[in-house]
Amino acid sequence: MRFKGFEGEWKQRTLADLGDFIGGGTPSSSNSNFWNGDIPWVSSSDLEEDSIHSINVSRYITNEAINKSSTKFCKAPVILIVSRVGVGKVAYSNKNICTSQDFTNIVNFKCNGLFLTYFLSIEMKNSASSMQGTSIKGISSTEIKSKKLFIPLNNEQQKIASFLSLIDERILTQSKIIDNLQSQIKELAKKMFSQQMNLKDDNGINFPEWESRFGNEIFNNISNKNHNSDLPILAITQEHGAIPRNLIEYQISVTDKSIDSYKVVEVGDFIISLRSFQGGIEYSSYKGICSPAYIILRAKTDIDNRFYKYYLKTEKYIKSLNEKLEGIRDGKMISYKYFSDISLPYPSLTEQNKISDIFSLFEKKIELEKQLLLKYESQKKHLLQNLFI
């Protein structure tokens, strides 16, 4: 794949010929004179996967740290290559920076810096993939320097770098749109469930005051193991709720005998997990089976499941869980009894429906924006795989 208007062969170059290389180091954390300065210092965890522009700087060092420790000063612009812990990450910094010993850094480029960064992001990811399943923990600076790359003329480098940067800007903007919508729905939930928003019915009349009911007045504890092991095994996650393992590449081997003891989960059920005190109670949009270690909740009265899908993940409910469970959280499952002892809001079914419809609109909007983000990410992946030789 090549942009129109460009011709001629790309020339093979050794990476060592394309810039100067600088390592890194970690100043002693016990020496206060080394820290809280004004020079950014990063470790591999400060870089993000699949984004050369994301460097999360939270630590700063002093000139004394540079003079008296193993860390090195990298004058901008800099290409940061994680060559040890977290190998595969690559980033571009247009600010002076220092790094830990897990990096091999390039300065004084002899080609377009962004072009080279994008190229190396592919090379290092491929290197990281080839190391999986081996005892190799990193790539030496000698190996990195010896890499052979095919490089076009400067104007084609610029074109490729600019186009990929444009895609990255779209991805960043799209991510911010999603983050903003998620913040809005979080704030909406806070106001809605604390009844700071007074909704009216279709006749313009205020809904009645909310009742409160204990968990066991709304939900039953279900333990149905009547299945033929032909249902999908569900992973119980804070991010996706209950979801078939194959949809998120969640691989844990289980025996046929152990599956016999798994519980059936119906669409609309709720699941208490070991991590519910952190992320609330999960909702299932799928029928399947899950480990008997989980507690399955099913409505025993007429409710809008969506209302409780949102409420049982709110900060307010998670806080009430933690207050109730103080002192028992060390690896212990939240029991049905503890769940039952916590009071839950119980507005009229009509108001539950109305509140759920509002949240559903936000969810649909977020899902559309996520699909657009996936489209941009797919475009970028295709370009990275096909623009470089």
Domains in the chain with CATH codes = 11-151 (3.90.220.20), 153-205+347-388 (1.10.287.1120), 211-345 (3.90.220.20)
**224 and 218 Cβ atoms separated by less than 8 Å:** no
Q: Using alpha carbons only, what angle is made at residue 99 by residues 126 and 61, rounded to the nearest 5 degrees? A: 160
Higher pLDDT, 85 or 268: 268
Query: What integer pLDDT is reported at residue 330 of this predicted model?
Result: 55
pLDDT, average across residues 217-236? 93
β-strand pairing of 234-237 with 270-272: unpaired
Query: What integer pLDDT is reported at residue 381 of this predicted model?
Result: 93
Residue 126: both structure tokens together: 């491929």
- Residue 131 binned pLDDT confidence (cut-offs 50, 70, 90): confident
pLDDT, average across residues 206-232? 94
Contacts of 13 (CB under 8 A, 6+ apart): 111, 148, 149, 150, 151
Mean pLDDT over all residues of the chain? 92
Residue 113: both structure tokens together: 């810096």
Question: Is the model's pLDDT at 66 over the cut of 80?
Answer: yes
Q: Where are the beta strands (DSSP E) in 46-185?
A: 59-61, 78-82, 90-93, 98-99, 103-107, 148-151
Q: How far apart are CA 316 and CA 280, in angstroms?
A: 10
Query: What integer pLDDT is reported at residue 322 of this predicted model?
Result: 86
Query: What integer pLDDT is reported at residue 263 of this predicted model?
Result: 95
Query: What integer pLDDT is reported at residue 331 of this predicted model?
Result: 54
Query: What integer pLDDT is reported at residue 277 of this predicted model?
Result: 84
Contacts of 281 (CB under 8 A, 6+ apart): 270, 271, 272, 273, 297, 312, 313, 317, 339
pLDDT, average across residues 230-235? 91
pLDDT tens digits along 259-280 = 889 999 999 999 998 888 889 9
Report percent pLDDT > 70 for the chain. Answer: 94
Q: Is 242 helix (H, G, I), strand (E, B) or coil?
A: strand
Query: What integer pLDDT is reported at residue 106 of this predicted model?
Result: 98
Q: According to the 3-state scheme, what is the secondary structure of 191-224?
A: HHHCCCCCCECCCCCECCCCEEEEHHHHEEEECC
Query: What integer pLDDT is reported at residue 133 of this predicted model?
Result: 62
Question: Is the model's pLDDT at 367 over the cut of 90?
Answer: yes
Q: How far apart are CA 168 and CA 53, in angstroms?
A: 8
Residue 301: both structure tokens together: 């009265």
pLDDT, average across residues 368-382? 96
- Residue 155 binned pLDDT confidence (cut-offs 50, 70, 90): very high
Question: Is the model's pLDDT at 30 over the cut of 80?
Answer: yes
Q: How far apart are CA 181 and CA 58, in angstroms?
A: 26
Question: Is the model's pLDDT at 358 over the cut of 90?
Answer: yes
User: Can you give the pTM of this predicted structure?
Assistant: 0.83
Q: Using alpha carbons only, what angle is made at residue 248 by residues 247 and 250, rounded to the nearest 5 degrees? A: 110
Query: What integer pLDDT is reported at residue 217 of this predicted model?
Result: 98
The least confident of 23-32, 77-86, 167-176, 318-327 is 318-327
Question: Is the model's pLDDT at 137 over the cut of 80?
Answer: no
Q: How distant, in Å, are the alpha carbons of 15, 169, 190, 355, 389 from that of 316?
A: 54, 35, 8, 17, 53
